[in-house]
Amino acid sequence: MKFLFPILTCFLLIVFLSSATQTDAQNRRKKKAAHELTIYDIDTLIHPIPLQRKMWHDKIDRAQRIADVADGKVDGLINYGDDTTATHLLTQSIIKDVSHMQVMIENLPYRDSNINVERQQKIRYLSDLNEMVGKFNRDDRVDPVFWHRTTENFRQLLIARHEGRLLDFVHQHPDIYTLENIQLLAGNKEAIAFVYTEVGKKDPLMMIERLPEYAKEPFACNIIAAAAKKDPSRIYNYASSTNYLLSNAVRNCNDPLVQTIVRISTESKTPLKAMPFLAWIFNGTKTISEIDRITSNPDLFYKSLIQLKIENKDGLADKTLTSEIQYRGLRYVRDMNDLHEEKDPIRFKCLDGFLPHELYYIMVYGQDEIYTSSFLGTFKRMLERMGDTMSGSGLFEKVNYDKFRTFIRMCAGYNTLSTFLGTMSKEKKTKLMTDFIAGLDKGPDDELEDAVDVADAFGSINDEDLLNFLQAQVKVNYERSYREKSMKGMRVYALLATLFNGLKASDNQEAIKQQSEILDLPPINLVQYKNLVNDSGIVYQQAFFYGDEDGKTSFASFLGGFKDGKWKIVPSKYWTTISSTSGKPTTIFANNPLPEPDDEEAQKQLCNYLAERNINPTVIIHRGHSYHLPLTLERLNKYSRIVMLGSCGGYHNLATVLDKSPDAHIISSKQTGAMNVNEPIIKSIETRILEGKDVDWITMWRDLNVYFNTKMPTYKSTFSDYVPPQKNLGAIFIKAYRRLAGNDEEF
């Protein structure tokens, strides 16, 4: 009975959201029926389309066809993977609603005595509508809800303009959707200024990216000043730009913080290193010359970054500061990783002189690249230096609980959580783990990093008493969220409860199937073969390699796995094509690991080749270090069904994969991937594809366990760091949360 609550809460939540959206839709239909149809509702042409506007309708129709065919077939549907809700939203918005707006524009009655002016206005409306569909086609990270709302905003904005109440509409809707349709405000400077200014207040980071659009406008300084508090590095880039339009916009802004950034760009010997210390310079704690002396010493540089991070209560330039801590800290992680075959005194010498909280930051901000043994060595030294004078709770207090959920998740994954919790009193431990679960509903709806850390930790905790305690806390927080009417909280805790319930069933096919249904997800435990093939019955795959020595070695070894007579290997200048000669047809494209930076050019040439031929690989393999991973992730698309990262699948990597490939099953490792583990996994996938079978992760991982136990025991522990898709709780959580949130937004 103790696992019944999680299932019911999630189920009831989904039912609640579903019935709520249905009720809203019914109410809207009733409301619409209660009013007579207007000229904006008629869906047939009153008069034939004049010849001078026919070409614009043809352009829009072509743009709609491009959107329709993007999924591989012209069928009047814009498919969004296996998500029927998202498919419905996109089809309704880009196909049906756009077509209706074409009719609506033609049916708009002429209101001015100058008919020619209004005829030109209709041409502009059609041009603007064509531009909106063009933007959709150029969007490689389509958000169905965003485009649904943008399309509806276009319609309402067009009507408001036609009726002469454009400014009133803009004052009521100063949001990103009006901004997306800003072309409809052409000629109304007051309306344009209001939208830019108001959206700039709400989201300065997004607006500062669009500075070229408004750099000469009087309101530009307000947006620049707001963005400087959030992302001063961007303002620095503009201030030091050779584009005088952008640099002058920043330099002419008299905001004190902006002017401090300008001074750093002109007075510092190493301004990029000085920028993270903006808070000290702005507040007068340090001079620019003093900061230059600090940044000239690598260890002092890193220690000072940590000191400022802890002192920086107001969060000024925190994004820049955090990025620099991560970048500088990776130096120590990579040193330890590179020396993994050396004795500890040599391997960990780079950590000499660091205090416990400084070692903590090296671990949590180096999570994407740190080896298991590097983490364990750093963790050991952190505990030694904590000694009897600092407890785990004292450490967290020292760092203001920054990234504490990440650290707990890492400790759980590396089997050090019990040791760390053992440094605290029972009361402090209880308080810590209560806080670990609490507060996941804070922040914007799409801010999920803490919740994903909690979900991932669940899969690594073996302490039954601790699991039971955490499960009880999930229930407590769900009930609190319900009382507080926090929709984000109800979603988060209901999903965590369901994941909790599935922990003991992660190797049980029927139980995993049931969990997929509860989470409203396609099967978690397998990728169906039919979802890997294209319309011609071919499975296309793409492997990414890089031009360093490891990349060249991996590439040669990778090709060696396809010389068993079942494959044909054809090399070319930029890539190598591997095609099956027996079994089901499949083709693998692997870019050649040309010397850096030509390896990126090889990837670009291959991606262009595939795009020109409408080839959309459904299996993506990353073979490179973690610092290469962002380049691979840029190349993903919505067709990817299996994504093998081969390196850490931290929150931001998982989120990026699922942004671009919503239905992807992700294989990742807790540390950098190993060639001798990657290749047996790849071979297992290829064997199933050649046989035309579903890629069943539970069966496949069971076979791989036997393989590493009997034939490659040396790599057994390394293989155990790999996370199969059905146990990648972070990825499952993100998928389910987005699906649940999307259902709530459908109407």
Least confident of 203-212, 312-321, 426-435, 609-618: 312-321
pLDDT tens-digit map of 145-168:
999 999 999 999 999 999 999 999
Separation of alpha carbons 329 and 346, rounded Å:
18
Least Cα distance to 417 among 362, 456, 388, 448 occurs for: 456
DSSP 3-state of 1? coil
Q: What pLDDT, on a 0 to 100 scale, did the predictor assign at position 114? A: 66
SS3 576: strand
44 in any annotated domain: yes
Place 359 in a pLDDT band, splitting at 50, 70 and 90. Answer: very high
Q: How confident is the model at residue 112 (pLDDT cuts 50, 70, 90)?
A: low
Look at residue 431 in the predicted model and tell me its pLDDT.
96
pLDDT in tens, 82-96: 778 889 999 999 999
121 within domain boundaries: yes
pLDDT band at residue 8, thresholds of 50, 70 and 90?
Answer: very low
Average pLDDT over residues 693-714: 94
Of the pLDDT bands very low, low, confident and very high (cuts 50, 70, 90), residue 504 is low
Q: How far apart are CA 392 and CA 386, in angstroms?
A: 8
Residues in a beta bridge with 571? 576
Q: Which domain holds residue 716?
A: 526-745
State the average pLDDT over residues 300-319. 91
**How many Cβ atoms sit within 10 Å of the Cβ of residue 54?**
12
Across residues 207-227, what is the average pLDDT?
Answer: 93
Label residues 681-700 b or e (16+ Cβ within 10 Å = b): bbebbbebbbebebbbbbbb
Give yes or no for a contact between 231 and 209, defined as CB atoms under 8 angstroms apart.
no
> Of the ranges 191-200, 229-238, 354-363, 661-670, which one carries the lowest mean pLDDT score?
661-670
Report the pLDDT value the prediction gives residue 4, as an integer from 0 to 100.
Answer: 38
Query: Which positions ≥6 away from 427 have C-beta within 8 Å?
Result: none
* Main-chain phi, psi angles of 568, to 5 degrees: -115, 125
Two tokens, residue 156: 């309402």
| Token couple for 110 | 């002429």
Residue 320 belongs to some domain of the structure: no
Looking at residue 667, what DSSP letter applies? E
Domain final position from 202, 235, 259: 202
SS3 541: strand
HSE-up of residue 388 (Cα within 13 Å, Cβ side):
0
Supply angle C-alpha 8, 9, 10, rounded to 5: 95
- In sequence order, the 6+-apart residues with CB closer than 8 A to the CB of 675 are 553, 554, 557
The CATH number linked to 650 is 3.40.50
Helix (H, G, I), strand (E, B) or coil at 591: strand
The SS3 of residue 355 is coil
Contact 455, 654 (CB under 8 A): no
Per 3-state DSSP, what percentage of the chain is helix, strand, and coil (rounded to 5)? 65, 5, 30
Mean pLDDT of the 276-297 span: 96
Residue 23's pLDDT is: 45
Amino acid at 262: V
Say if 532 falls within a structural domain. yes
Contact at 8 Å (CB) between 436 and 451? no
How many C-beta neighbours within 10 Å does residue 104 have? 22
Confidence of residue 584 (pLDDT cuts 50, 70, 90): very high
pLDDT of 12 higher than 80: no
Token pair for 202 = 């709400």
> What is the rounded CA–CA span in Å between residue 266 and residue 264?
5
The whole-number pLDDT of residue 505 equals: 60
What is the predicted pLDDT for the residue at 6? 44
Q: Give the chain's largest Cα–Cα span.
A: 89
Measure the CA–CA gap between 524 and 513, rounded to whole angstroms.
7
Q: Confirm if 83 and 139 have CB atoms less than 8 A apart.
A: no
For the residues 555-577, what does the mean pLDDT come to? 93
The values of phi and psi at residue 659, to 5°, are -60, -45
What's the first-to-final CA gap in the chain, in angstroms?
A: 36
Q: What is the CA radius of gyration of the chain?
A: 28
Residue 39 gets the label, from left (phi > 0), alpha (psi -120 to 50) or beta, of alpha
Query: For helices 487-502 and 729-745, what crossing angle results, to 10°?
Result: 140
The per-residue pLDDT for 522 is 85
What pLDDT does 517 receive? 81
Angle at 238 between CA 233 and CA 241, to 5 degrees: 120
- Contact in structure between 264 and 274 (CB atoms under 8 Å): yes
Q: Classify residue 296: in a domain, yes or no.
A: no
Instruction: Name the residue among 639, 746, 616 with its Cα closest to residue 84.
Output: 746
pLDDT (0 to 100) of residue 10: 46
**Distance of alpha carbon 198 from alpha carbon 175, whole angstroms:** 8
- Mean pLDDT over 604-628 rounds to 91
Q: For residue range 628-637, what is the model confidence (pLDDT) as tens digits?
A: 888 899 899 8
* Per-residue confidence (pLDDT) for residue 676, from 0 to 100: 87
pLDDT of residue 530 exceeding 80, the answer is yes
Predicted pLDDT at 115: 72
Is residue 94 one of the residues assigned to a domain?
A: yes
Instruction: Examine the pLDDT at 746 and tell me if it is beyond 80.
Output: no
39 phi and psi, to 5 degrees?
Answer: -60, -25
Q: Average pLDDT, stretch 504-524?
A: 77
pLDDT band at residue 679, thresholds of 50, 70 and 90? very high
pLDDT digits (tens, 9 = 90+) for 360-372: 999 999 988 888 8
Q: What is the mean pLDDT of residues 12-21?
A: 43
Tell me phi and psi for residue 166, to 5 degrees: -65, -45
Task: Please give the structure tokens belonging to residue 259.
Answer: 């002017």
pLDDT exceeds cutoff 80 at 474: yes
Residue 712's nearest CA partner among 673, 672, 666, 679 is: 679
Q: Which of 77-81, 145-149, 534-538, 670-674 has the lowest mean pLDDT?
A: 670-674
Instruction: Return the SS3 of 533.
Output: strand
Interval 366-404: pLDDT, tens = 988 888 889 999 999 999 999 999 999 999 999 999 999
Domain boundary among 141, 172, 202: 202
Query: What per-residue confidence (pLDDT) applies to 21?
Result: 44
Q: Which sign does the torsion angle of CA 266, 272, 275, 277 carry? A: negative
Looking at 444-526, list the stretches that DSSP marks H as alpha helix, in order from N- to C-terminal side: 449-458, 464-483, 487-502, 509-518
| pLDDT exceeds cutoff 80 at 26 | no
CA distances to 5, 497, 516, 518 from 11, in Å: 10, 11, 12, 6
Local confidence band at 673 (pLDDT 50, 70, 90 cut-offs): low
In eight-state DSSP terms, residue 97 is I
Torsion sign (Cα): 245, 248, 254, 258: positive
CB count, 10 Å around CB of 719? 20
Q: What is the bridge-based pairing of β-strands 586-591 and 575-580?
A: antiparallel
Give pLDDT, residue 684. 96
**Helices 487-502 & 4-33 angle (0-180, nearest 10):** 140
Rounded to an integer, what distance in angstroms lies between the CA atom of residue 569 and that of residue 464? 51
Averaged pLDDT for residues 513-526? 84
9 pLDDT higher than 60: no
Answer whether residue 73 shows pLDDT above 70.
Answer: yes
What is the pLDDT confidence band of residue 647, given thresholds at 50, 70 and 90?
Answer: low
- Decide: 452 and 730 in contact? Cβ < 8 Å: yes
Residue 377 domain-assigned (yes or no): no
Q: What is the length of the chain? A: 747
Q: Quote the pLDDT of residue 18.
A: 45
For 19-28, 332-341, 408-417, 458-467, which range has the lowest pLDDT when averaged over its residues? 19-28
Provide the token pair at 256: 């004190």
Average pLDDT of the segment spanning 499-509: 71
Question: Mean pLDDT across the stretch 513-531?
Answer: 87
Question: What band does 244 get if pLDDT is binned at 50, 70 and 90?
Answer: very high
pLDDT at 696 over 50: yes
What is the pLDDT, as a whole number, of residue 34?
Answer: 45
* Number of neighbouring beta carbons within 10 Å of residue 521: 17
DSSP 73: S
Q: Is residue 403 part of a domain?
A: no
Q: Is the pLDDT of residue 13 over 50?
A: no
Which has the closest alpha carbon to 309: 385, 400, 226?
Answer: 400
590: helix, strand or coil: strand
Taking 80 as the threshold, does the pLDDT of residue 484 lie above it? Answer: yes
Number of structural domains the chain divides into: 2
Predicted pLDDT at 743: 61
* pLDDT (0 to 100) of residue 645: 85
Mean pLDDT in the chain?
A: 89
Which of 202, 226, 251 is a domain's end point? 202
In whole angstroms, give the CA distance from residue 228 to residue 282: 12
